[in-house]
Structure 1
Amino acid sequence: MLPFIAWVGLIRTENALQLDKLEQAILNTKESFHVSLQGDVQWIQKTTSSWKVELTNIVVGEQKETDSYGNCIVYIEEETNLQIGNRIEVQGDLELFEQASNPGMYDQRAYYRAQNIRYYLWVERWKIVNDRVDFIYNKIYQFRCQLAEILEKVAQEKDIGIMQAVTLGEKSELDTDLKKLYQENGIAHILAVSGLHISCVGMLFYQLLRRITGSFKISGWISAGLVIGYVILTGSNVSAIRAGVMFVISLIANQKGKVYDMPSSLSTAVIVILLLYPLQLFQVGFLLSVTTVAGIAVIAPAIYGGEAHSKWWKGLVISCSIQYSSLPVLLWSFFSYPLYSMLLNALVLPFTSILLFSAGVGAVVGLCWMPAAVFLVGSGHFVLLYYRLLCERFVHIPGSVQLIGRASWWQIVVYLAILLSAVIYLEKKANKKRRNVYGIIKPEKKVNSKKEIVVGMELILLLVIGLLVLKPIHLNELSITVLDVGQGDCSFISFPDGTTMLIDGGSTTENNVGTYRMKPFLYSQGIRELDYVVLTHPDSDHMNGVLELLETNSIVIKSLLLPNVDGMEQSYQAILSFCETVIWMEKGMKWESGDVVLCCLHPTRGFQSEDSNDCSVVLQLQYGMFSMLFMGDLGAEEEKKLTGLQDTTVLKAGHHGSKNSTSEEFLEKITPDHVILSYGENNSYGHPHEETIQRLEQQSCSIWHTPEQGAIQIRVKQDRYYIYAYKNTR
C-alpha cells in the first residue's frame, strides 16, 4: 500500500510543479495579460480594502470547458452579495504572484501554489452568470460571517483581530504591530487555528453530546462532522486539516476500543494532506505543524524513559521536544530564535483554551443574547491584555531574540541525523527499563526531583547545542550578492575574514524595500550588524532602504562611507544621525582585508557636479585574479576620466543600464567577462536601454538581469569563482 501511495504522491507532485497554459501565457507576455474568465466561487474573505474571492473550475474567454487550470484569486473593490457556489465572470489583468528573488525573501507564489492557487486578478468588471449555491459550504460561510460580525460589535478594537484569528482563522483585522510582537516572542502559533483549537472544540462537542445522547457512536460521528465543519469554517488551513484528521482517527480508535497511536495518526494526516496538496511539503506552516506534533508524539516519550515524572518536568520535556523537532524549520524560515519562548509559552498556553472559549462561545451566544456575548468576550480581553504585557516585558529582556541565520542543507542533515540517533537510543533504553527479564511491563518508577532538575538543565543545554549546530558557518571565501530590489541598487560583500559591507540599498519601485527585500536577506545570513555601508550617492533608489532599516532599528552600521563632494553632507542628513563613524570617500583611498583590496576610483578631491549621479563613489575590488567594479550611477563623461582601470571579471553596470552610462570606450578599457544590470521590471525609465544592451553584446560578455534572474551571487575561492542567479538555483 505504501509504495502505491508514494507513486501517486510523486505523480501529483510532478503535476503540481508543472506550469499550466495560463501561467505560460502570462510569463511569455511582456505587456499586461488582459482576460475575461469564469469560475465558481469557492471561498470569500473580506480584506481591509476589497473582497478576496477564490475561484475554481476556471474557463478562459470563449472556451466552454475548463482546461486543468489552477484556482484564481480575484479582488473586488465594491460591495458584493456573492455566495459560495455562484459562477461569476470577471475581467481584468491576470497576474502571477510574486516569486522570491533573493535569499530569505518570502515566496508568495510558492505559498499560493501549494494551495493550487496560481494567479490573481484585480477586477475591472464582473457579473454573476449562474446563481447556483453550494448549500453546505455557503451556510458555513454565512455562519462564519455572523460570528465575525458579533466579535466586531462586542470586542474591544485591539482585540477584534486576534479573536477572529483564534476562533475563525480570519486574519484580515489582525493588528500588524501586535502580530510582530507575538512573532518576536515565539507565541504567534496561537493566532493560527491548529491542534489545540480543534482538540478544544472537538472534545467540547464530544463530551456534550455524550451527556445528551449517552452513545459513543452517535456522539462520535456527530462530533466528527462538526469538527470537519469547523475546519471548513476556519479556512481549511493545513494545520486545521492535520488536527481534524487526527481528531477523527482518535474518535474511531475510541469507538473501536483501540489504543490511539499518535505517530500513526500523524502519518495518516500527513499522507492525506500531501495527496490533496503535494506542494505543502515545502511550506513552513505544514512543516511546523507536523514537526511540532512529531516532537510530542516521538521525542517526548523517548525522553520520559519509562519512568514516572512530575507534571512540571513533563511540561519541560514536551516544550524541549517541540523545540528539538521544529528548530530546523524555525531557523530556515525565520532566521532567529526567541530565547525565552519556552518559558513564555508555559505562561501563555494554559490560558489559550480560556481565550478560545470566551471568544468562540461568546460569538455563538451573541447570535441570540448579546449581553451574554459582551460578558464572555470581555473576559477574553483580560487574557489578551495579559499576553500583551508579557510579550512587552519579555521582548525588552537583553538577548530575548537571537539572530542565527539560515543553516546550510548539510547542517540540517547532520542535526536531524544526530536527533534521530538520540531518539532511537533513548527509545531502546526506555524499553529495557519498562520490561523485566521476562518481558513483562514493570510499574513506572518515580524519579526524584533532584534528578529531574539535572536532566532538565541538560535538555536546555542540548537545545543551545542544537542552535550552535544550525548556526551558519562562515566559509573562508569572498562572497558577493547583488540583490534584486526593483528599480534601485543593493550589493552585499562578505569578505574571507568575516567582514561585511553593503554598497547602496534602495528602490523607487518596491515599497518598504528594506523590510521585505534587504532585511530578509541580511537576517538569512545571520547579519544584523554591518561593518561598512557605502552609499555611492544620495538618490533615494540607492539609500531609502538603508534609512528604513535604521529607523526601524533592524540593523546597526559601524562605519558609513560617503562620497567626499562639497555640499553633499546635507543630502545625507537623515542618515548621519544614526551613525557615529563616517568616512568621506575620495579617489586613492584603499581598504584591505587579507588578500582582498578595495580601491576608490571616484570622486576626486574637490569634485563638484550638479548631477548627483556623477558624484557616485566608484569602487574596484581585487582578490587574486578576480576583480569587480561597482559603478553607482556614474555617467559616461565621468567614466572617461577614470584612471587605474584594468581588465575586469565582473562589472556592476552604472545607472541601471542607462544609455548615458557604460559607454563603448569604457567597456573596451575594462573588457568585462560578466555584466550585472540591476533595474525594475517595466520601469518608467526604460532601463536597460537597447543601446546599452547592444554595446554589451558586442563585448561578448555574459549579461545578468536581476528582474529576470533574481539576486546574482558570486563566490570567489583563490583563483576560482562561481557566478549564479538565485531564481535558477531554486
Structure 2
Amino acid sequence: MTRRPLAFLCLLCIVFIAALTLFGLPPERGYRDRDTVSSLLEVPRSVSVTGEVLRSEVQEDYSYFILRRAVLSVESQHYAISNVKITLKVPVRYAVGVRVSAVGVLRGIEGPTNPGQFDKAFYYRLQGVGYTMSSPEITVISSHAKPFRETLAIIRETLKKRIRMSFPEDIAGLISAMILGDKSLMSEDIRAVFSMGGVSHMLAISGLHISLFGEGMYRLLALIPLFRKNRKRGAGLISAVFLVVYAVFTGLSVATVRAVIMFVIMRGASFCGRTYDPPTAIALAALLIVIEQPLYIYYSGFILSFAAVSVITVFRERSSLVLGLFLFLFTLPVIIRSYYEFSTYSVLINLIVIPLMPFILLFGLLGTLLGGGAGGIFSCPAIFLLRMIMKVLDFFRMLPYANFIVGRPGVGRIVLYYALLVVFIYISGRTRTRKIRFLLYPFAVPLIAVLVIRVRSGLSLHFLDIGQGDCCVMEMPGGQNILVDGGSSTVYDVGKERIMPFLKYEGIGTLDYIFVTHMDSDHTSGVIEILEAVRDGETAIKAGKLVLPYLKERGEAYREMEKLSREAGMETLYVKSGDSFSFEEKGSGSGHPDRSVIFTILGPDPEAESSPVDENGQCITFALKYGDFDCLMTGDVQNAGEANMTRLLR
C-alpha cells in the first residue's frame, strides 16, 4: 500500500466511516424528530406531506413517485422527514421537480419479521426512503419541473414504449432491464431462471454494461477526426460525460456509479497524461459512494460489485476459466450470506453468456432506437441471442445439482473460508507447472464444503410471522423437513416473500412432507405458491409428499390442491384419526423410540363427517412427541373435531 498512498488513504476513510455508522453517524434526514414522528404515526391517521418529486414511474395499472425534502404536517406542527414513496392506483405521472402535497395515511416501512425475509426497510433506507403512503389526495403546489432530470425521464418512458413495440413480451422485459435498468416489464419466471443460473447481473445496469457502452463510444469517437491532434482526449471527455448522463438516466445503481467513476478516472488520467492505476480507482470509487450513502458498506450489491472488479484487477492475466473460478470463489460467501443458495454451473454459464453481451446490447439498442421495419433487422439478432441464452439456462437448470440451498453461514465460517482460500491461491500461484496447478483446482470443492455443510441435531420448530394465518416449519433430528400449513389472509405473496426465504435461510432444500390441515386460504395460500414454483421450476426447493385430511366430501379447493400436487410431482397422502408417522434420529435405529419424533394423528374422524362437511371440524390435528417434549397441532379444529381430539388425548 505504500506504493499507492491514495488507495490506502481511501480504505482508511472507509473503515472510519464504517465505524461511525455503528454509532448512527452521520445522522440521516429526519433523525432529530424520528422518535416524535414514530409516536405520531402509531395510530393511523390522515396527515399532510409536502415535498419535491424526485422520481416518477408509471406502470399499466398503477404508478408511484418519490418525494424528497419531505415535510410532515400534523396538528400545526412541521417535521422534516426522509423521502416518501407514494403509490397511486391509477397510472399518473408527475414531472420531476414539481412540488406536491399528499394527504393520506403515512406509514413507516417495516423491517423483516422472519429470518431470511427481504429487508425492505434497509433497501429503501439506502434510497433515503423511510415512509410510504397509498392512494392519497394529491395537490400540485408548484408545477416548476427540473428540465434536465425531467427530459431524461421523458426519454426513458419513450424508450420503454418503443421497447414494448419492438420486441416480443418475454424479450422486452430483458431489453428494458439491460438498457434502461427497468425490470417492470419482466415476468417473475424469467427473473427466477436468470437468478438460478447465476447470471442475474445481466438484468441490471452493471459494470459490464457501463464498460461496454463507455469503451465502445470512446473507440467510435476516436475514429472521428473532429479534434485533430487531441482526438483521444476529446473522445475520452465526451464518452465520460455520456456515461455520467447515462448513469443518472438509468437510476444510479451502485455498480453503475462504481463503473462510471472508474471510467472517468481512467479517461481523466489519459487526458492529463498520467498513468491509470486500477486499485486506486477502485478505492476512490468506493470512498465516493460511501460518502454519499454510508450504509452501502453493508449492502450486498456494493460488496459484490467491488469484490468482482477487485478480483478481475488482481487476476486479469489468468485464463478466462481460472478468472471465472476465482470470481466464483471470492464472491460465493457474499452470495450465500445474502441469498442462501448458489448456482453450481454459474462459472460455465457466465463463460458462455458474457461474450454475447456486447452483441445483445448493440442490437437491442439499435432495435429500440430505430423501431419499425428498419429496427426489426437489428432486433432479430438480440431476440435470437436472448432466447438462446434462456435455452442454455434451461439446459443447465435441468442438470443434477444445478442449485444448492445451503442456508446462511456464520461470520466465523466465512473468515475461515477466506483464510483457506488465500492459502489455496498462494499455493496455486507458487506452483509453476501448469499441469500441477490444474490438479490443485479440484481442491476448491472441499474448500466450498467448509462454507456450506450444516450439522443438525435435535428437533426444531419454527412458527413464522405471516400475518393472519398459520405456518410452522419443523426440522426433524433425522434430517427430514416438514411444513405444517402456510397461508395468510393479510400478507400478499406470503409463500414467496416469507416462507420460501425462511426455508432457504435455514438451508432447507427439500420439504419431505407438507401438511395441509384444511383448505382455508389463511392456511393454504403460501403452500399453493410453493407448489406452483416447484411445478414451474422457479425454485430449487423440492417437495416430497403432500398430506391432506381424509374427507369423503371434497370441495373444489381440495381437488385443486390434489391437482397441483400431481403437477409438482408429489405423492399425496390422506390421513385420519389413528394414523401415525415416525421420524427416527440419524443413527438411532428402530429400537430407540425416545430418540424418534412421533406424530399421532387425532383428526379428522371419518365417522364424524357431516354433509356439508365442516372443514374446520374435520381438519388435521396431531400430537407430536420427542422424548420429554410434547406439542399439539390443532389447525382450526372446532365442534365435533375438537370433542374427538379431546377424547383421544384423555
Q: TM-score range by the shorter chain?
A: 0.7 to 0.9
Moved more, 318-327 or 98-107: 98-107
Give the counterpart letter for 2:471 in structure 1: C
Native 8 Å contact 1:46 1:172 kept in 2: no
Q: Equivalent residues in 2 for 1:610-625 (5 A)?
A: 611-625=614-628
**Counterpart selection for 2:256 from 229, 235, 240:** 240
In structure 1, distance between residues paired with 2:614 and 2:630: 28
Residue by residue, what CA displacement relative to the aligned partner does 1:533-565 show, whole Å, maximum 9, x if unpaired? Answer: 333333332234323322332554444444456
In structure 1, distance between residues paired with 2:171 and 2:579: 59
Native 8 Å contact 1:294 1:325 kept in 2: no
Deviation, 1:270, is: 1.8
**Counterpart selection for 1:270 from 256, 279, 286:** 286
Deviation, 1:245, is: 1.2
Give the counterpart letter for 1:11 in structure 2: L
Secondary structure, aligned partner of 1:612: coil
Residue by residue, what CA displacement relative to the aligned partner does 1:598-635 show, whole Å, maximum 9, x if unpaired? Answer: 35373375344654323343333344554433222234
1:561–1:64 Cα change, 3 Å = closer
In structure 2, distance between residues paired with 1:423 and 1:69: 49
In structure 2, distance between residues paired with 1:587 and 1:162: 54
Q: Equivalent residues in 2 for 1:372-521 (5 A)?
A: 372-423=374-425, 429=430, 451=434, 455-456=437-438, 458-459=440-441, 461-521=442-502
TM (norm. structure 2) is 0.84
Correspondence 1:161 to 2:166: no
In structure 2, distance between residues paired with 1:117 and 1:86: 18
Secondary structure, aligned partner of 1:101: coil
1:210–1:558 Cα change, 3 Å = closer
**Counterpart selection for 1:573 from 552, 559, 564:** 559
**Counterpart selection for 1:584 from 575, 586, 605:** 575
Deviation, 1:233, is: 0.6
Secondary structure, aligned partner of 2:68: strand
Native 8 Å contact 1:26 1:33 kept in 2: no
**Which residue of the partner structure matches residue 301 of structure 2?**
285
1:413–1:238 Cα change, 3 Å = same
Deviation, 1:157, is: 3.5
1:226–1:556 Cα change, 3 Å = closer
Correspondence 1:85 to 2:97: yes
Secondary structure, aligned partner of 2:514: strand
In structure 1, distance between residues paired with 2:27 and 2:330: 28
Secondary structure, aligned partner of 1:613: coil
1:8–1:512 Cα change, 3 Å = closer
In structure 2, distance between residues paired with 1:200 and 1:138: 26
**Which residue of the partner structure matches residue 600 of structure 2?**
600
In structure 1, distance between residues paired with 2:36 and 2:546: 45
Secondary structure, aligned partner of 1:527: coil
Secondary structure, aligned partner of 2:148: helix
Native 8 Å contact 2:51 2:67 kept in 1: yes
**Which residue of the partner structure matches residue 110 of structure 1?**
122
In structure 2, distance between residues paired with 1:462 and 1:74: 52
Deviation, 1:231, is: 0.6
Residue by residue, what CA displacement relative to the aligned partner does 1:687-710 show, whole Å, maximum 9, x if unpaired? Answer: xxxxxxxxxxxxxxxxxxxxxxxx
In structure 2, distance between residues paired with 1:513 and 1:138: 37
The runs of 5 or more residues in structure 2 that have no matched partner are: 1-8, 586-594
1:611–1:344 Cα change, 3 Å = same
Native 8 Å contact 2:562 2:572 kept in 1: no
Moved more, 504-513 or 85-94: 504-513
Deviation, 1:198, is: 1.0
Give the counterpart letter for 1:414 in structure 2: L
In structure 2, distance between residues paired with 1:141 and 1:614: 57
In structure 2, distance between residues paired with 1:599 and 1:78: 51
In structure 1, distance between residues paired with 2:319 and 2:574: 56
**Which residue of the partner structure matches residue 107 of structure 2?**
95
Correspondence 1:329 to 2:310: no
Deviation, 1:320, is: 0.8
In structure 1, distance between residues paired with 2:485 and 2:525: 9
Identity percentage of aligned residues: 27
Native 8 Å contact 2:408 2:507 kept in 1: yes
Deviation, 1:590, is: 6.4
In structure 1, distance between residues paired with 2:77 and 2:364: 44
Native 8 Å contact 2:21 2:295 kept in 1: no
Moved more, 557-566 or 263-272: 557-566
Give the counterpart letter for 1:535 in structure 2: V
Residue by residue, what CA displacement relative to the aligned partner does 1:567-616 show, whole Å, maximum 9, x if unpaired? Answer: 46987433345343625242584635342443537337534465432334
**Which residue of the partner structure matches residue 678 of structure 1?**
none
In structure 1, distance between residues paired with 2:561 and 2:373: 53
Secondary structure, aligned partner of 1:220: helix
In structure 1, distance between residues paired with 2:80 and 2:386: 45
In structure 1, distance between residues paired with 2:27 and 2:500: 29
Deviation, 1:156, is: 3.5
**Which residue of the partner structure matches residue 634 of structure 1?**
637
In structure 2, distance between residues paired with 1:565 and 1:81: 53
Native 8 Å contact 1:158 1:175 kept in 2: yes
Native 8 Å contact 2:604 2:641 kept in 1: no
Residue by residue, what CA displacement relative to the aligned partner does 1:48-70 show, whole Å, maximum 9, x if unpaired? Answer: 32332121100122799984421
Native 8 Å contact 1:589 1:599 kept in 2: yes
In structure 2, distance between residues paired with 1:97 and 1:539: 29
**Counterpart selection for 1:532 from 502, 508, 513:** 513
Correspondence 1:137 to 2:123: no
Deviation, 1:197, is: 1.2
Native 8 Å contact 2:428 2:440 kept in 1: no
